Structure 1
Amino acid sequence: MVILYIIAGFFSVLIGGWLFTNAMEYISHRYGVGASFVGAVLSPILTSLPELMVFLVAFLIYGGVSGEDVAVGTVIGEPFVVSTIVYPMIFIIAIIGFYLRYRSDVVLEVDKVLVTPFIVVVVFFPTVLLPAFINSLQVRLVIAVLLLAIYLSYIYIMRAKQGLAIEDYEGLYVLRIVRISRLWEWLLLMIQLAVSVALLFMGSRAMVAGIIELSRSSMLDVMGLSIIIVPTATVLPESITAAIWTLRGRDTMAVAALIGEKVLYSTVYPAIALIVTRWSLSIEALISVIVVEAISSAMLYHVVRGRLTWDVAVMGLLGYVIYILILIHRI
């Protein structure tokens, strides 16, 4: 029954995120927002909603120590999952695209504008560890305000560097089912948004319930389990977006969507968690932050050069294996 809860939540969050992202991309397309801004700022905000829903459900509905551990584990775990699982997947997609002749090579050629989000992650993500060692509400509030200010500055910088608007948009999904006057498209847009938010909420609640119950029955650490399970499920929307852009050879857009997500989870969401939770981190959380920093630093070096190679994917997989081994050893 517990496994069914997690599986049901997984698919509900996936479908909800898919519909929500499509609706938001439709809005972005209509207003002509630049491609780099969409990839590094707008897309991460939209596709991170599944994780935000999990965080809010865990903290507000379940509460207590277990609920907070799932909430904090989700915030810490998303950058970890992107760094260790999603980046290797992107390189696999690049190989597939090369053999299908959608791409000319298997190296990701990226614009150096992405140096900015990588610097934000490398410099500021480790600050989330400080409040765990200094038990002070004042310290948590100061760091939270700092992280929010950093993210607002980041938006300003990326907005100034935005590229051309996306032209080859596939259209609002609901319009494929219902034909309606262009004057009433907004109504269908609102319906798709409402359905997607409902799916995100229900799926998030089911996943949190399943994770807490699974941890209790298997004696696993709640935070350690949530770091790998919840983000693995909820990171799928941005992963799918990045995979499509990689297949088409739009490497900057693909990497921007992923590093933009990590920026959001290095600043805004930790800031929220620092304010509303006790922010107690387990050894698993500490290890995940170290892994994210190592991989992000290596990727920053490659982005400065304008191209990402396979060594970052290998580092990611190695970091994931080390984390799993430590988690199993602590059972």
Structure 2
Amino acid sequence: MEYVSSRYRVGASFVGAVLSPILTSFPELVVFLVALLLYGNVSGEDVAVGTVIGEPFVVSTIIYPIIFVIAIIGFYLHYRSDMVLEVDRVLVAPFIVVVAFFPTVLLPAFMNSPQVRLVIAVFLLVIYLLYIYVMRVRQGLAIEDYEGLYMLRIIRTSRLREQLLLATQLAISVALLFVGSRVMVEGIIDLSRSLMLNVMGLSIIIVPTATVLPESITAAIWTLRGRDTMAIAALIGEKVLYSTVYPAIALIVTRWSLDIEALISVIVVEAVSSIMLYHVVKGRLTWDVAVIGLLGYIIYMLILMRGI
């Protein structure tokens, strides 16, 4: 992503908030498709919908606190100059998208109409396209101090061999994602039956906790380097993607039946995102965001475990 910003003069905020989430959300997409296509009954749909609803929830409750811990570590290791995340106000746009439009995913569950689901799906897709346009116009500055791709520092090879290596890596990665997704979906369904817990409720916390690793590690590396805008952009960009595009797809291909756990997760995401929006307007993110997110996670777990 830094290579794209530096080489093609693409602004850092656009890279972090739009391009990076599209790539790092691929594991969730595979889980969603496996759950829907291979386990197309009620349980499979619940896992698929739980994956979509759960991604913004996990990012808001678990990942933000981790990012603040990384900032502290970076400060004491002298990679950073402070422990507060300094962000560009251009990130106001993605936070507004999440706060304003993510709750619309609840409407079809209450109205139970295919026409309503289709209208909201189209609406969310249009919102995402407008979001891309706004972020492209206000993309920020490109990265100037980029050091180069790691592999090209180690291995000097021909362009054809480089493309073959990339293609091989991609094929192996997709195969492993498919196998791992099947195991995960089967495990969630079996676990829900053995513990007598809601399948969607488990999916909301289990699937995103595992599949959120790519964007989390990306954000952690950028936080450690002091690229706070790109770090938060990668996370909020992921939330935008799962507040618009993925719900739109799920609204079209599933019955979109939500449980109380889904409602609670949306409420928590809205609370954390609203507070972060307030801080982004000021240009600084502080620890209260992490504390509120963790409290929301605890409340969710208590509701989920109430049947045990």
Q: Give the alignment's TM-score, normalised by structure 1.
A: 0.88
Matching of residues 292-311 of structure 1 within 5 Å: 292-311=269-288
Q: Which residue of 1 aligns with 2:109?
A: 132
Structure 1 residue 172, shift from structure 2 partner:
5.8
RMSD: 1.7
- Could you tell me the percent identity over the aligned residues? 81
1:40 and 2:17 matched: yes
Could you say if the C-alpha distance between residues 239 and 211 of structure 1 is closer, same or farther in structure 2, counting changes exceeding 3 Å?
same
Q: Which residue of 1 aligns with 2:87?
A: 110
Q: Of 235, 245, 269, which residue of structure 1 is paired with 2:212?
A: 235
For the residues of structure 2 that align with 1:177 and 1:105, how far apart are their CA atoms?
32
Q: Tell me which amino acid in the other structure corresponds to 2:50.
A: G
Q: Which residue of 2 aligns with 1:218?
A: 195
Larger mean Cα displacement after TM superposition, 52-61 or 191-200: 191-200
SS in 1 for 2:171: helix
Q: Deviations over 1:154-197 (max 9, x none)?
A: 11111122231465255265x67865213542222222222222
Q: Tell me which amino acid in the other structure corresponds to 1:92.
A: V
Q: Deviations over 1:69-126 (max 9, x none)?
A: 0000000000000000000000001111111111111110000000000000000000
For the residues of structure 2 that align with 1:66 and 1:177, how far apart are their CA atoms?
46
For the residues of structure 2 that align with 1:307 and 1:243, how far apart are their CA atoms?
17
Matching of residues 123-272 of structure 1 within 5 Å: 123-162=100-139, 163-165=141-143, 168=146, 171=149, 173=151, 179-272=156-249
Structure 1 residue 33, shift from structure 2 partner:
3.2
Could you say if the C-alpha distance between residues 172 and 32 of structure 1 is closer, same or farther in structure 2, counting changes exceeding 3 Å?
farther
For the residues of structure 2 that align with 1:35 and 1:330, how far apart are their CA atoms?
46
SS in 2 for 1:96: helix
Whether the aligned pair in 2 keeps the contact of 1:35 and 1:166 (CA below 8 Å) is no
For the residues of structure 2 that align with 1:28 and 1:226, how far apart are their CA atoms?
35
For the residues of structure 1 that align with 2:301 and 2:176, how far apart are their CA atoms?
30
For the residues of structure 1 that align with 2:124 and 2:10, how far apart are their CA atoms?
25
Could you say if the C-alpha distance between residues 183 and 165 of structure 1 is closer, same or farther in structure 2, counting changes exceeding 3 Å?
farther
Q: Tell me which amino acid in the other structure corresponds to 1:214.
A: L
SS in 2 for 1:168: coil
SS in 2 for 1:95: helix
Whether the aligned pair in 2 keeps the contact of 1:40 and 1:257 (CA below 8 Å) is yes
Unmatched 5+ residue regions in structure 2? none
Q: Which residue of 1 aligns with 2:27?
A: 50
Could you say if the C-alpha distance between residues 166 and 323 of structure 1 is closer, same or farther in structure 2, counting changes exceeding 3 Å?
farther
Q: Which residue of 1 aligns with 2:291?
A: 314
Q: Tell me which amino acid in the other structure corresponds to 2:24.
A: T
Structure 1 residue 25, shift from structure 2 partner:
6.7
Q: Which residue of 2 aligns with 1:71?
A: 48
Q: Which residue of 2 aligns with 1:14?
A: none
Whether the aligned pair in 1 keeps the contact of 2:21 and 2:215 (CA below 8 Å) is yes
Q: Tell me which amino acid in the other structure corresponds to 2:216.
A: S
For the residues of structure 2 that align with 1:266 and 1:169, how far apart are their CA atoms?
34
Q: Tell me which amino acid in the other structure corresponds to 1:159.
A: R
Whether the aligned pair in 2 keeps the contact of 1:151 and 1:268 (CA below 8 Å) is yes
Q: Of 73, 76, 86, which residue of structure 2 is paired with 1:96?
A: 73
Unmatched 5+ residue regions in structure 1? 1-23
Q: How many residues align?
A: 307
Q: Which residue of 2 aligns with 1:329?
A: 306
Q: Deviations over 1:118-137 (max 9, x none)?
A: 00000000000000000100
SS in 2 for 1:70: helix
Q: Tell me which amino acid in the other structure corresponds to 1:237.
A: P
Q: Tell me which amino acid in the other structure corresponds to 1:275.
A: I
Q: Deviations over 1:32-74 (max 9, x none)?
A: 4332111000000110111111111000111100000000000
Q: Tell me which amino acid in the other structure corresponds to 1:168.
A: Y
SS in 1 for 2:230: helix
Q: Give the alignment's TM-score, normalised by structure 2.
A: 0.95
Q: Tell me which amino acid in the other structure corresponds to 1:34.
A: G
Q: Which residue of 2 aligns with 1:288?
A: 265
Whether the aligned pair in 2 keeps the contact of 1:26 and 1:172 (CA below 8 Å) is no
Whether the aligned pair in 1 keeps the contact of 2:268 and 2:296 (CA below 8 Å) is yes
Whether the aligned pair in 2 keeps the contact of 1:32 and 1:166 (CA below 8 Å) is no
SS in 2 for 1:146: helix
